[in-house]
Amino acid sequence: MFPPLDKFPHHDPDAAAAYVNKAVERSIMEAPEQYMWLHRRFKTRPEGEPSLYK
Q: How far apart are the first and last CA of the chain?
A: 36
State the pTM of this model. 0.60
Residue 49, pLDDT above cutoff 80: yes
pLDDT at 21: 93
CA torsion, points 22, 28, 30, 34, in degrees to nearest 10? Answer: 170
Residue 42, pLDDT above cutoff 90: no
pLDDT at 34: 85
Q: What is the mean pLDDT of residues 24-50?
A: 86
